[in-house]
Amino acid sequence: MPAGVGDTPEIHRLVTWILIGLAVVTLISTSVMTAPYGRHTSKSWGPSLPSRWGWVLMETPAVVVFCWIYMQGQHRFETVPLILLGLWQFHYVQRTYVFPFRTRSEKRMPVFVCAMGALFQLINAYINARWISHWGSYDPQWLMDWRLWLGAGMFLAGWAINFKADAMLIALREPGESGYKIPRGWLYEYVSCPNYLGEILEWTGWAVATWSLPGLAFALYTAANIGPRARSNHRWYQATFEDYPPERKALIPFLF
Ligand SMILES: NC(=O)c1ccc[n+]([C@@H]2O[C@H](COP(=O)([O-])OP(=O)(O)OC[C@H]3O[C@@H](n4cnc5c(N)ncnc54)[C@H](OP(=O)(O)O)[C@@H]3O)[C@@H](O)[C@H]2O)c1
């Protein structure tokens, strides 16, 4: 068995709790300030790089480090861990190497934001990959377990919502355009940020499918990170467009 990681269950649990603590810190900080990228980007955060490459660098640990850690695990060739690996990579290969090149954004991202994102993904990849391929235990009976299939269904539904919502935003710009328009139709009639809603559903599905503390940690972090950002984007739309639909909510139809 490969022994490249060299951790213990105690170390793994401690790091997972650190990520949960980070989710709390993130919720507090994103509630009082908005991460400076995309429409909220700012030059006051020091050196920057093209956003597109920022996304690639920031998310690469979620693809590469995740695979490497996964391959060190004792359960790496078992069916359920392989299904979970497939779900994870289905999301992250798209997000890291396809999404940035589909966007029509010439924005820049502060190096600081990119570095923080990459650091987060390093920790996140470690706790989740290590759990599914080594410290967790998914015997073949898990293939009959409702948690795996409900979670996978939520994950894929969330992915589809996220992908379509991002595609609709990207299509608002003609090639060479850089401004913002009011998105209309489909879930945009109900909320300003269906892409974030899909993303939160996806990682909640991951938490259900893995039925694990690392899965829960990432779902909590995602909600803490983009829940408040949805509110900031919503307020930005309201302040920017006089004719912004008043009945539209930020993230959750009819509620928030
Ligand atoms: N798991 C997590 O914690 C997490 C955290 C952050 C993001 N994400 C995911 O990463 C993806 C991108 O996030 P994001 O915060 O960059 O999303 P976003 O602000 O909605 O932007 C997505 C893309 O659409 C463009 N765009 C947005 N609104 C537009 C409008 N009204 N008119 C024209 N173009 C518009 C943006 O251009 P500009 O870049 O020029 O604004 C960007 O290229 C999303 O799928 C999100 O769910 C996940």
pLDDT of 28-84, one tens digit each?
Answer: 999 999 999 999 998 999 999 999 999 999 999 999 999 999 999 999 999 999 999
Per the rule left: phi > 0, alpha: psi between -120 and 50, beta: everything else, 108 is beta
96 vs 59: CA distance, rounded Å: 5
Q: What is the pLDDT of residues 85-135, one digit of tens each?
A: 999 999 999 999 999 999 999 999 999 999 999 999 999 999 999 999 999
In this structure, the residue with its CA closest to atom 10 of ligand 1 is: 95
For the stretch 220-247, pLDDT in tens is 999 999 999 999 999 999 999 999 999 9
- Give residue 196 CA to ligand 1 midpoint distance, Å: 9
Ligand 1 atom, smallest distance to 172 CA: 33
Residue nearest to atom 41 of ligand 1 (CA): 38
For residue range 136-177, list pLDDT tens digits in order: 999 999 999 999 999 999 999 999 999 999 999 999 999 999
Q: How far apart are CA 114 and CA 61, in angstroms?
A: 12
What is the distance in A from the centroid of ligand 1 to the CA of 239? 18
Would the pLDDT of 1 be above 60?
Answer: no
The residue contributing the CA closest to ligand 1 atom 1 is: 222
Phi, psi of 249 (to 5 degrees): -100, 180
Q: Which atom of ligand 1 is nearest to the CA of 233?
A: 19
Q: What is the Å distance from ligand 1's center to 66 Cα?
A: 23
User: pLDDT, tens digit, for every residue of 82-92?
Assistant: 999 999 999 99
Please tell me the distance from the alpha carbon of residue 113 to that of residue 115, in angstroms, as a whole number.
5
Predicted confidence band of residue 3 (pLDDT cuts 50, 70, 90): low
User: Nearest residue CA, atom 33 of ligand 1?
Assistant: 180
Ramachandran sector of residue 54 (left: φ over 0; alpha: ψ -120 to 50; beta: rest): alpha
pLDDT of 2 above 60: no
Q: What's the pLDDT score for residue 226?
A: 97
Atom 2 of ligand 1, residue of closest alpha carbon: 222
Residues with CB under 6 A from ligand 1: 38-39, 51, 103, 105, 107, 162, 166, 169-170, 172-173, 180-181, 183, 195-196, 199, 222, 225-226
Cα gap 198→165, rounded to integer Å: 8
Instruction: Output the residue whose Cα is nearest ligand 1's atom 6.
Output: 226
The answer to whether 58 and 121 have CB atoms below 8 angstroms apart is yes
- Count the Cβ atoms, other than its own, within 10 Å of residue 67: 15
Q: How far apart are CA 215 and CA 63, in angstroms?
A: 16
